[in-house]
Amino acid sequence: MLFAMQGSPSEYNYENKILFIEDLDEYLYHIDRMMLGLKRSGRLSRLKGLIVGGMTDLKDNAIPFGKTVEEIIREAVGDYSYPVAFGFPAGHGNENHSLFIGAEVELVVDDQHYLTFK
């Protein structure tokens, strides 16, 4: 939805935010296209952090795309120094934790990609 709303009156405000993303039943090359579009538009550069939730039932083509979803996302945000947390249990999976939208938090990610909020 974030990618589709770019340039519309409903577009998300990325400035100094921690962004949460997740997806369901999507092709890896689509994820790559969306992440590249968000990067090239400058939206990813405005963030203070990124949380990646469930990337559920992702698909690949008969000729493999050649990257995992984590590699795709890391490549898209590799130029930025903000924390990136993978595997947050929210999205379309069985384990679906809540996120506090609009809360003021500090995102801390350790070497194992776990996150804590302070």
What is the domain partition of the chain in residue ranges?
18-93+105-117
Query: What architecture does CATH give domain 18-93+105-117?
Result: 3-Layer(bba) Sandwich (3.50)
**13-41 average pLDDT score:** 95
What percent of the chain shows pLDDT beyond 70? 93
**40-59 average pLDDT score:** 95
Q: How confident is the model at residue 6 (pLDDT cuts 50, 70, 90)?
A: confident
Say which residues have a Cβ less than 8 Å from residue 79's Cβ, sequence separation at least 6. 45
Report whether pLDDT(74) > 90.
Answer: yes
**85-101 average pLDDT score:** 87
